[in-house]
């Protein structure tokens, strides 16, 4: 079985420039080279127009990263992104505050439509388990409220549709919330499970500022060694070189979320057959045999390994291309976020007919 996602070409002909894609200034130059005309068209479009984009991808596939990078490049003040999961967790907090709970109930009285009585809906919220999906009709009402909070902005929605039955709802969602003239688009993201597994296993978080990095794939500028293991030191000056740590359970990788990943794949596969709504395809991995034709070397995700130099008493950092197997057993290289964002920018401009 072959990957249905097309490979997007970001390779620049005749350009000898290389960019450090971790540096914001270098990244800006990179995007102007790779997608300058499309960036200007999207900026002009967002002066008077908006859109709704549904992000569909497996957990930890980079949905938020790509949406936020798109906003950073195009128009941070005119684009917003929210996660349905974060929205529900925020509602959990509101239910514990008497005034906020009353405001929530009043909103639902005016906006919720469904088979279950409102009392049962509130009870379901209060007794919610992370393993139980809330009624789709309730999610619709809450998403409407979330969009209203943000005013007239272009919106990336992460986590809706969340189940197979919600795909049909999303086709008419812009009409339901009053965005009648706004185009909408499905953004389908393909990231191999092996990539997600490594992202989770090697993730490290600052206990103070909560910044997330990756020991293997996205290290900080300083690496420590305690004679047992190598570790990341937070870059934030305010954190005063605190040691970054792994979250409980991260060492298990994708094992705890296997069922979720299976459902996410079903959602993506189902969305391929949708008619009447533009689709954007973002692919994270490229087969080794094709990579030179499609991307520049510096766009490939490097893998970082470490050695302790006894003479200098310093950590030696070894960088090399990160070789993986995709979900179809094909030897591939994973891409950094910026080239995937370039694909998003160019395809978004095309979807909006700019």
Is the torsion defined by CA of 323, 324, 329, 330 positive or negative? negative
Q: 123: which residues sit within 8 A by CB, 6+ positions away?
A: none
pLDDT tens column, 188-213: 999 999 999 999 999 999 999 888 88
Asked, for residue 125, whether it belongs to a domain, the answer is no
pLDDT of amino acid 135: 77
Angle formed at CA 158 by CA 86 and CA 328, multiple of 5 degrees: 120
Statement: residue 115 has pLDDT above 90: no
pLDDT of the residue at 130: 56
Q: Is residue 122 part of a domain?
A: no
Q: 259-299 pLDDT, tens per residue?
A: 889 888 888 888 888 777 899 999 999 999 999 999 999 99
Residue 106, class by beta-carbon neighbours within 10 Å (0-12 exposed, 13-18 middle, 19+ buried)? exposed
CATH number at 275 reads 3.40.50
Query: Does residue 89 lie in a domain region?
Result: no
Whether 127 maps to a domain, the answer reads no
pTM: 0.87
pLDDT for the residue numbered 271: 82
Residue 28 inside a domain? The answer is yes
Specify if 67 maps to a domain.
Answer: yes
In a domain, 184, yes or no: yes
Q: Establish if 288 belongs to a structural domain.
A: yes
User: Per the structure, how many domains does the chain have?
Assistant: 1
**Beta partners for 213?**
204
Range of the domain at 203: 24-78+153-351
**Each residue of 315-351: pLDDT tens digit?**
999 999 899 999 999 999 999 999 999 999 999 999 9
pLDDT at 173: 64
């Amino acid at each position: 079985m072959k990957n249905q996602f097309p490979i997007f070409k970001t390779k620049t002909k005749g350009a000898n420039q290389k960019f450090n894609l971790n540096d914001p200034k270098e990244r800006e130059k990179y995007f102007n080279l790779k997608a300058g005309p499309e960036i200007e068209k999207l900026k002009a479009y967002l002066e008077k127009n908006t859109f709704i984009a549904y992000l569909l991808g497996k957990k930890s596939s980079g949905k938020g990263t790509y949406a936020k990078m798109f906003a950073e490049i195009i128009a941070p003040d005119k684009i917003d992104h929210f996660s349905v999961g974060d929205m529900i967790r925020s509602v959990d907090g509101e239910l514990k505050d008497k005034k906020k709970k009353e405001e929530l109930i009043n909103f639902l009285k005016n906006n919720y439509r469904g088979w279950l009585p409102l009392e049962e809906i509130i009870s379901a919220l209060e007794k919610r388990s992370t393993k139980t999906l809330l009624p789709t009709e309730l999610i619709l009402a809450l998403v409407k409220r979330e969009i209203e909070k943000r005013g007239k902005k272009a919106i990336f929605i992460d986590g809706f549709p969340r189940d197979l039955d919600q795909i049909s709802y999303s086709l008419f969602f812009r009409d339901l919330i009053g965005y009648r003239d706004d185009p909408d688009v499905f953004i389908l993201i393909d990231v191999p499970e092996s990539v997600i597994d490594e992202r989770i296993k090697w993730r490290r978080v600052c206990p103070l500022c909560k910044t997330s990095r990756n020991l293997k794939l996205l290290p900080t500028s300083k690496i420590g060694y305690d004679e047992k293991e190598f570790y990341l030191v937070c870059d934030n000056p305010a954190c005063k070189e605190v040691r970054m740590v792994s979250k409980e359970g991260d060492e298990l990788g994708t094992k705890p979320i296997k069922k979720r990943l299976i459902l996410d794949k079903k959602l993506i596969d189902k969305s391929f057959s949708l008619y009447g709504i533009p689709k954007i395809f973002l692919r994270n991995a490229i087969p080794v045999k094709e990579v030179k034709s499609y991307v520049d070397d510096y766009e490939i995700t490097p893998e970082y390994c470490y050695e302790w130099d006894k003479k200098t008493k310093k950590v030696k950092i070894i960088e090399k291309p990160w070789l993986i197997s995709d979900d179809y057993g094909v030897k591939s290289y994973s891409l950094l976020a910026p080239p995937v964002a370039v694909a998003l920018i160019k395809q978004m401009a095309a979807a909006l007919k700019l």
